[in-house]
Structure 1
């Protein structure tokens, strides 16, 4: 069996060469793939408890959480639409290399949600450090503006508004590059899948060509019809 595979690959050497070239190209691209920058910022919605009676949004904590949810939905246009596997999952950990999410803080797990904090979590990933900073500032600005717009249109006294504040003044931006282990696993997978596909293609083409030769030989050996 192995001997037959080797013979097929030798006879169809041009397919093997093409396959190896494709494997090398994919491996080179994979090895050169840059990492991503990422940042996470929490925007906390606060109610002035001393003025709670004057603002219908401040009557109870659940109302503030609901208000934060309304703001979150209104600023999600343009955000990554992929549903993450759990509240603790991150964009970069899910393989997403560009985009952002603005989601209501979820204390639940993979199977059940629990929204018990009036916090919008902003997460941004991009290959550019400057772009991560820009998107963070843009989304925070949209949340602040939307928070004010909703209350202004509702006729709420500005002195009793719910406020949206970033929990930390300094935005921490991290970088996640591909590790040596992950690169080696990726290269090994490319070599394995690519090699198997190359050998299979060479065998199939070899069998197809062999059958054509047999058919032609039989056709040539048959006596011509009178």
Structure 2
């Protein structure tokens, strides 16, 4: 009677090695824990207070231009640009954004302040066609944000006044300023917490799936074969050392 060689018993479940399954469970638990911790951080992260106001530069009123609000002048825009350059310095405006409507919040500058001359140009050439300066302030305290905003507006007015004093401009021909809105407010921004948490869950799910599916033994990959017992190793060594005996014994059995 022929006796076939028994294959060593594999400690695997559903084609997945026991050791690999253990590590996959560990990865899943780590991903779940990371999502929970990140969710708590997102929910408890404080928001930011933000305030903005436009300091409009108005041309002097005359019989030809009785309405200073609708009167536009290239010289007034140039004056606003000089004031902005005095306040910010040659390189104080920072990186030029694709849109002049990008705010400090959009740049993630959550405790900062800025005075900007709107640039409505394209990619290749700037276009300063608005005679105003935009003042922005962000911070974690509403009273501090309002105080710093008012201080920046006062600095803009003082700089404009000093420039005209230095040039000896007559008071009837002076450029004046007006705020828009007249009574700026401070608003609170905390983002969309639900959307942020949903993105965390999605990213963690994708990352966990990639790790688990790329683990050895997944998707039909060869599983790890556990070492056989001492008896099997002795029989394997004997057959390897004397292949002719193994062949003879098989022939006799047949």
In the TM superposition, 1:34-45 aligns within 5 A as 34-45=46-57
Partner of residue 103, structure 1: 116
Give distance in 1, aligned partners of 2:137 and 2:17. Answer: 49
Partner of residue 74, structure 1: 86
Partner of residue 239, structure 2: none
Alpha-carbon RMSD across the aligned residues, in angstroms, is: 3.8
> How far apart are residue 83 of structure 1 and its match?
3.8
In the TM superposition, 1:1-226 aligns within 5 A as 7-8=19-20, 10-11=22-23, 20-50=32-62, 61-76=73-88, 81-108=94-121, 113-192=126-205, 195=208
Total equivalences in the alignment: 196
Long gaps (5+) in structure 2: 1-13, 65-71, 217-223, 225-254
More helix by share: 1
Long gaps (5+) in structure 1: 53-59, 204-209, 211-226
Give distance in 2, aligned partners of 1:47 and 1:85. Answer: 29
> TM-score w.r.t. structure 2 length?
0.60
Cα distance per residue 1:110-159 (max 9 Å; x no partner):
66543222111112223322232122112101111111122222333345
Q: 1:187 to 1:16 in 2, by over 3 A?
A: closer
Contact 1:31 1:183 in 2 (8 A): no
> TM-score w.r.t. structure 1 length?
0.66
Q: 1:80 to 1:24 in 2, by over 3 A?
A: farther
Give distance in 2, aligned partners of 1:131 and 1:45. Answer: 26
Task: Work out which of the two has the higher radius of gyration on C-alpha atoms and give 1 or 2.
Answer: 2
